[in-house]
Amino acid sequence: MAKLHHFHGGLQLEGHKAESVSQPLRQASLPERLILPLRQHIGDYNKPLVEIGNRVLKGEVIAATSSLICAAVHAPTSGIVSAIGNYPVPHPSGQADRCIVIDVDGEDEATRADVIDPRQLSAEEMIQRICRAGIVGLGGAAFPTSPKISRGKAQGVDTLIINGVECEPYITCDDMLMRSDAAEVIRGCGYLQQILSPQTTLIAIEDNKPEAIAAITRALGENPLANTEIITIPTIYPSGGEKQLIQILTGKEIPHGQLAFDIGLLCHNVGTCAAITRALEQDQALISRIVTCTGNNLVQPSNWEVRLGTPISHLIELAGGYQDKDDAYLVMGGPMMGFALSSDTLPIVKASNCIMVMREETIPHSPGYHDECIRCGKCTEVCPAQLLPQQLYWHARAKAYERTQEFNLFDCIECGCCSAVCPSQIPLVQYYRAAKSEIRAAHKALFKSDRARARFEFREKRLLLKKQQDEERRRLKREALKLKQVKSADAEAAPDPVQAALERVKERKAVQEENR
């Protein structure tokens, strides 16, 4: 068994997981309408490939782009496209985004699948199928899977890590997936091995998931994979973070400014592995995911396989509804890294691993409504990224964003450990998120400004060159005209050669007559 290591900080948290795993995994029914944001991933926006009034089939691509960092959106079921426009989406900003709305026809008619034995496919063909399926990381980050695999293959992977840790309280979707579909997870792991050829594969699961560990162990025994080991790790938050999990399993730390690929490692979530299996074996796009619906204001906490675009209200209704709707607070994600939702009409998206329905507000207060920092240093003690949260807070609060970057703001994984232990109840992560958003917005504006300036300068150069070329053509034309006029004048001034020849003939005749 591999030697386990430790990362700095972290917290022991109450799990609250038993509530939602007491029920079996169930399939959610189809709602009357699906709302599908065009961008459900980290990366560039998709463009609609359908128009209002079109009938679409389950699995049909309805939005895509040619960008490398992107994941296509597929119709989760058959129906009619009734609208394309801005609708509220689940996002920390609370803003609306461009969406495609499908009125469900209830037939669930699917496109024809192109089923091929994955063992007959080359690595490039497998990556293409994964790309075509619109798969993203299902651990919460929602980074497109195909470019991640492609880069890992290009740079070389020594160790493949399959993340089944799921360390945040309340969330149990990965636990239920491993219990119910362990064979799919293992086969997906095998396909990743086929593409990447790693020397070692480690499947990491926290020790508070004995049923999942038993199921994965059983599935691996039935379908053995070379150099693959199941590692049980201690339950501590945030051990499921990529950098923290890598440090626990390998003892390696990812250097500042680098990624796991750069040191020969690649991490994938167990849900992503199952999605890869379905894409390669059944030609099935990512049109659904397992969502934990839980909380102390929900009648029956449970896990559901839900079609993307399903309104959260439909899922809550399937889970028995609210205990007290007037006192309900909704959060997407867990209590540590999740964010508040403005309404239960928002849709389930690819990054929706958990919907929490709480009686009392569990998200931090808005920045500004808290006690002052007492400089106790507890935030520094628990920070798994070994940052200085207090310094980041002061600079973020003062909007000294250049200083926040000097203290490696973007190394913050927003785990919430600092906020959880702060005796002043300062929502530190809120400040960090706001600072990151401002910096990204400034960089984006600068990028656009630089591009606009480059386009303007190029246009000015092009117009100046055209002006110079036009002036040169006019100059040459003037010179040609002047030369023509000179030649014409010279031609007029010169004697007529015919007349001159006649005169010479006359002169000779005159000389001859005189000589007679």
Q: What is the pTM of this model?
A: 0.85
- 188/273 Cα distance (integer angstroms): 4
CA angle 476, 479, 480 (to 5 degrees): 85
| pLDDT number for residue 368 | 53
| pLDDT number for residue 492 | 67
Q: Is residue 496 part of a domain?
A: no
- 117/121 Cα distance (integer angstroms): 7
Map residue 118 onto helix, strand or coil: helix
| pLDDT number for residue 308 | 97
Q: Is residue 360 part of a domain?
A: no
Q: Is residue 451 part of a domain?
A: no
> What does the pLDDT look like over 216-259, one tens digit per residue?
999 999 999 999 999 999 999 999 999 999 999 999 998 888 88
| pLDDT number for residue 1 | 58
Structural domain including 235 reads 18-108+120-294
3-state helix/strand/coil string of 140-177: CCCCEHHHHHHHHHHHCCCEEEEEECCCCCCCCHHHHH
What domain count does the chain have? Answer: 1
| pLDDT number for residue 43 | 83
Strand order in the sheet with 265-269: 228-233, 200-206, 159-164, 265-269
DSSP structure string for 339-378: EEES-TTSBP-TT--EEEEESS--SPPPTTSSPPP----H
Q: Is residue 337 part of a domain?
A: no
Q: Is residue 147 part of a domain?
A: yes
- 447/460 Cα distance (integer angstroms): 20
In this structure, what are the phi and psi dihedrals at residue 355, rounded to the nearest 5 degrees? Answer: -120, 115
- 53/81 Cα distance (integer angstroms): 5
CB 11 within 8 A of CB 336: no
Q: Is residue 124 part of a domain?
A: yes
| pLDDT number for residue 502 | 79
Q: Is residue 299 part of a domain?
A: no
CA distances from 395 to 298, 390, 399, 434, 453 (A): 39, 9, 6, 12, 31
Q: Is residue 245 part of a domain?
A: yes
> In which residue ranges of the chain is pLDDT below 70?
1-2, 361-369, 490-495, 516
DSSP structure string for 166-218: --STT--HHHHHHHH-HHHHHHHHHHHHHHH--SEEEEEEETT-HHHHHHHHH
- 500/497 Cα distance (integer angstroms): 5
CB 182 within 8 A of CB 218: yes
> What does the pLDDT look like over 308-352, one tens digit per residue?
999 999 999 999 999 998 889 999 999 999 888 989 999 999 999
| pLDDT number for residue 364 | 47
- 59/77 Cα distance (integer angstroms): 7
Instruction: Give the tokens for residue 293.
Output: 């619906």
* CATH code for the domain in which residue 71 is found: 3.40.50.11540
